[in-house]
């Protein structure tokens, strides 16, 4: 276990086998009894979990009874936790959901974002249509926020930090992470994003696997969320996206969720393990490589799976197609990961 509270050199870019760039980060793996199994870097530093928080932000929706009242199924729950690419498979579900509860995309407070799915982007351009709130990668989460507010007969200004929904989310994060949550920032979708330590975030992910700690009611809610994400990995992100590809590649059930600025979390329900990592410079390429290494080391992802070659040992080619280098883990990160096996 590393006790050095400085960012750890995790992922490097090699050109002709010489290091060209290094991405530093921090990560922590928490197992049974909330014990730290291994850590790298500054795991007690406060971070913004960004969209890695979505699993926790979804819990009040189920606990409120809204899911039963409005007959929301596993697809809607997967979408609530998604950072989707705005493909028709995502937007259709959200559009129909909103219509079913008497709302439209105009009621979502996430803002308009062009779809990251390039085919959908091109389709909108060709048809002369403009992107809407539905295409925002957080529109599923906001549909959940809106549904909670309607069900509880609350103000629809659900993004306010003192709105009962956000206060509930803060409380759930405190209970799962074991930390007092004091600070927040405003996320890309305008919702509050509560700060916690990386260790607290990993503890929260571990807590999702601990039925005794959760209790009967929350256990059922969490199980519904995790099973939905596992059953519909493409709804959680999309074609070619890391979260979806990694979840589909797993040997045993694993839930993987990214957050902006180099954040990743993973939940391993059968192993009772939670993982959280943050790449300090916010590089998503490095974050995807780092979470892939940890999942390989935890024995839930085969080292020879194509997704590992795509994310962890990724070839870099120039515009002429010539191989110029690789993305790869640093030796220290690779070696320290052996402690997890």
Half-sphere exposure of 153 (CA within 13 A, CB side): 0
**C-beta of residue 75 within 8 angstroms of C-beta of residue 232:** yes
**C-beta of residue 28 within 8 angstroms of C-beta of residue 22:** no
Q: Which has the closest alpha carbon to 98: 160, 165, 156?
A: 156
Gap between the Cα atoms of 3 and 218, Å rounded: 34
Q: Average pLDDT per run of 10 along the chain, which is 341 residues long?
A: 75 95 97 95 97 98 96 98 96 97 97 90 88 96 98 98 98 98 97 98 97 92 97 97 97 97 98 97 97 96 95 94 95 82 62
Gap between the Cα atoms of 325 and 270, Å rounded: 37
Pair of tokens at residue 138: 């957080």
* 58 three-state secondary structure: helix
This prediction has a pTM of 0.95
Residue count of the chain:
341
Pair of tokens at residue 122: 């091109």
Gap between the Cα atoms of 281 and 172, Å rounded: 28
Inter-CA distances, 269 with 28, 179, 318, Å: 17, 22, 41
Gap between the Cα atoms of 22 and 329, Å rounded: 9
Q: From the centroid of its chain, how far is CA 30?
A: 17
Gap between the Cα atoms of 297 and 336, Å rounded: 10
Q: Is the four-CA dihedral 178, 182, 188, 190 of positive or negative sign?
A: positive
Residues 6+ apart with CB under 8 A from 238: 84, 85, 87, 89, 90, 116, 117, 244
H-helix or E-strand containing 258? Answer: strand 255-259
Instruction: Count other C-beta atoms under 10 Å from residue 107's C-beta.
Output: 16
Decide: residue 216, CB within 10 A, 0-12 exposed, 13-18 middle, 19+ buried: exposed
Distance separating the N- and C-terminal Cα atoms of the chain: 13
Gap between the Cα atoms of 285 and 242, Å rounded: 10
Q: Is the four-CA dihedral 212, 218, 220, 224 of positive or negative sign?
A: negative
Half-sphere exposure of 169 (CA within 13 A, CB side): 27
DSSP letters spanning 61-99: HHHTTHHHHTT--HHHHHHHT------HHHHHHHHHHHH
Q: What is the pLDDT of residue 340?
A: 74
Instruction: Count other C-beta atoms under 10 Å from residue 122's C-beta.
Output: 11
Ordered structural domains, the chain, with CATH = 8-340 (3.40.710)
Q: What is the pLDDT of residue 253?
A: 95
Q: Is the four-CA dihedral 61, 234, 288, 37 of positive or negative sign?
A: positive
Instruction: Count other C-beta atoms under 10 Å from residue 7's C-beta.
Output: 18
């Amino acid at each position: 276990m590393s006790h050095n509270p400085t960012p750890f050199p995790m992922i490097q870019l090699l050109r002709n086998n010489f290091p060209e760039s290094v991405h530093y980060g921090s990560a922590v793996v928490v197992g049974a009894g909330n014990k730290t199994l291994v850590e790298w870097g500054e795991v007690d530093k406060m971070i913004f979990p960004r969209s890695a928080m979505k699993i926790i932000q979804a819990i009040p929706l189920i606990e409120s009874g809204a899911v039963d009242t409005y007959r929301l199924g596993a697809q809607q729950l997967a979408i609530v936790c998604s950072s989707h690419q705005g493909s028709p498979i995502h937007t259709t579900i959200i559009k129909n959901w909103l219509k079913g509860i008497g709302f439209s995309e105009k009621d979502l407070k996430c803002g308009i974002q062009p779809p990251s799915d390039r085919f959908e982007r091109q389709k909108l351009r060709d048809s002369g249509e403009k992107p809407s709130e539905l295409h925002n990668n957080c529109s599923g989460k906001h549909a959940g926020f809106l549904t909670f507010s309607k069900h509880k007969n609350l103000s629809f200004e659900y993004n306010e930090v003192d709105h009962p929904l956000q206060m509930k989310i803060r409380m759930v994060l405190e209970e799962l992470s074991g930390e007092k949550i004091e600070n927040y920032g405003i996320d890309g979708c305008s919702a509050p994003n509560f700060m916690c330590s990386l260790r607290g975030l990993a503890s929260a992910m571990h807590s999702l696997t601990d039925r005794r700690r959760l209790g009967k009611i929350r256990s059922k809610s969490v199980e519904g969320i995790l099973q939905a994400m596992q059953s519909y990995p493409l709804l959680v992100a999309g074609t070619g996206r890391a979260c979806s590809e990694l979840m589909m590649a797993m040997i045993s059930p694993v839930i993987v969720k990214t957050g902006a600025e180099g954040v990743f979390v993973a939940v391993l329900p059968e192993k009772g393990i939670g993982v959280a990592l943050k790449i300090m410079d916010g590089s998503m390429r490095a974050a995807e490589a780092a979470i892939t290494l940890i999942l390989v080391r935890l024995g839930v992802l085969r080292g020879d799976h194509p997704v590992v070659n795509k994310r962890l040992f990724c070839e870099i080619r120039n515009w002429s197609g010539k191989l110029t280098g690789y993305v790869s883990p640093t030796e220290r990160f690779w070696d320290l990961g052996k402690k997890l096996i």
